[in-house]
Amino acid sequence: MAIEFNNKVESYVNGLPEFQKTYFKEIPSWLSDIKNEAIKSFSKLGFPTPLDEDWRFTNLAPISRNSFQIASNGISEVNKESIDKFSIPSLDCHKLIFVNGRYVSDLSDIKSDADGIVIKSLKEALNSDKDLVEKHLGKYAEYKNDAFISLNTAYFEDGVFVYVPKSKIAEKPVYVLNISTNEEAQSLVNPRNLVIVEDNAEVKVVEHYVSTAQNVYLSNVVTEFVLGENANAEHYMLELESKKAFNISTLRIQQKRSSNIKSHSILLGGAIVRNNVHPVLNGEGCNSDIFGLYLPKDRQHMDNFMRVEHASPHCDSRQFYNGILDDKARGVFHGRIVVHEGAMLTDAKQTNRNLLLSDTAQIDTKPQLEIYNYDVKCTHGATIGQMDDEAIFYLKSRGIPNKEARRIMLQSFTNETLESMSLEPVRESMENLILEWFEESFANK
């Protein structure tokens, strides 16, 4: 029998015992305890409303008042051809396929790696790499204060597990394709990912979310990224969900001394999308670069929520977010830099630029600094504007047609964030999708 949830928080609380019985044959007691704690937190917190300051511009009523059920496996809808259609062309990678949040080993392709690097499904790692998982899972993404993290922690079934031992470099990126299928009922999936990169190690992880049909579902993702000393990592979030779907994703990064992370979020799909990025720079000399690009149109709503915590001295962080909004779309940028006591010589910069292509598109941008220290360099800035008519006129005066001139302008705007991607095939694939977005936008004008 399907596990169903309605608009009452109790339905989520009551469904957990059945969920654990159905989807975990033998659940370790420590995990069961965490799940029970998490659902208790969710029952206290409930879904956020616009009365919560952090959700002021995003009304979640279409989620909180909706009904969902745990997705079926949906595997019959997916085959090698559909995987090839969704995947990033010419990306040489370890490929992990998840359908409705469940790992499909037959369609995945994990290359053998003799260096002790572990890449597998989290469900499998719960048995095979128990100590590592128990040590890190749920230790950084704070489920006690966040409704969606608590819901994910209680109801996650699977996800990706990556472990890169000391001084090892994962030569190929880890590509995680999450496919939602055409379910009869509105489904809820809770992918949970854990990436552990030890001292002096290096990895690149690409999370890609797609759907086979334009239907309503809730995808609630949590990724915990743990970086050891001098570790280097790059993370990609490619969100191309159904135009009617809800996607809430949280990337929680825990950094040790002199570690570096580069995070890229590209938001293109979904009806209501919330992308939370929360690095904690917890060791001297850390670096955290967060790039984002969001392109809502029609009636899409995209909310970018950043919390960058400088907990140690001599750390640098950069947030660079660009948005292009069309039709009746709505965007939110909420970026907060927190400099803790003692985090001297912090250098933090936050930039958010927005282009509105229609009179009915709307953006709310809210950069914030919270500094409990002195001797720091923190800047923030936000701009909202339209296409520059003078620049378009200049291009036209050089013989470039109007449409081409507009495309050049928009492309240069999106390239400001895309250029930071080191994986060329991912960048090219996103560029092509964005060009299609421009074409559709121009066609409707």
Partner 1 sequence: MSDFHKVAPTSEIEEGEIKSFIVESEIVAVCKVDGEYYAFKDECSHQTLPLSDGDIQGEIVTCCYHGAEFNVKTGEALCLPATDPIEIFEVKIENDEIFVKLG
Tabulate helix, strand, coil % of the chain (nearest 5).
25, 35, 35
Q: Which is nearer to partner 1, 21 or 65 (CB)?
A: 65
- Looking at the Cβ atoms of 117 and 325, the one nearer to partner 1 is 325
Measure the CA–CA gap between 63 and 118, rounded to whole angstroms: 36
Closest distance between partner 1 and the C-beta of residue 387, in Å?
A: 22
- Give the total of residues touching partner 1 (CB under 8 A): 19
Minimum distance from residue 275 beta carbon to partner 1 (Å): 17
Nearest partner of 291 among 177, 194, 434, 422, judged by Cα: 422
| Local structure of residue 256 (DSSP, 8 states) | -
Q: By CB under 8 A, which span of 43-51, 289-297, 374-382, 434-442 interacts with partner 1?
A: 43-51
Minimal distance, residue 63 CB to partner 1, in Å: 9
Query: Taking Cα atoms as reference points, which of 132, 100, 103, 343 lies closest to residue 217?
Result: 100
- 213 binds partner 1, rule: CB under 8 A: no
Q: Please, how many CA atoms are within 13 Å of residue 228, restricted to the half-sphere of its CB?
A: 16
Q: Which of 14, 20, 22, 66 binds partner 1 (CB under 8 A)?
A: 66
Closest C-alpha among 82, 73, 70, 69 to residue 104: 73
Does 211 bind partner 1 (CB under 8 A)? Our answer is: no
CA distance 322 to 290: 11
User: What's the alpha-carbon Rg for the chain, to the nearest Å?
Assistant: 21
Phi first, then psi, for residue 180 (nearest 5°) are -100, 135
From the list 424, 47, 437, the residue with the least C-alpha distance to 236 is 424
Pick the binder of partner 1 from 51, 106, 145, 374 (CB under 8 A): 51
Report if residue 165 touches partner 1, rule: CB under 8 A: no
Instruction: Verify binding: residue 57, partner 1, rule CB under 8 A.
Output: yes
Per-residue DSSP letter, 52: S
Which span (202-210, 243-251, 345-353, 420-428) binds partner 1, by CB under 8 A? 243-251
The only residue of 299, 381, 386, 439 in contact with partner 1, by rule CB under 8 A: 299
Is residue 278 close enough to count as binding partner 1 by CB under 8 A?
no
Residues that bind partner 1 (CB under 8 A): 49-51, 56-59, 61-62, 65-66, 216, 244-246, 271-272, 299, 328
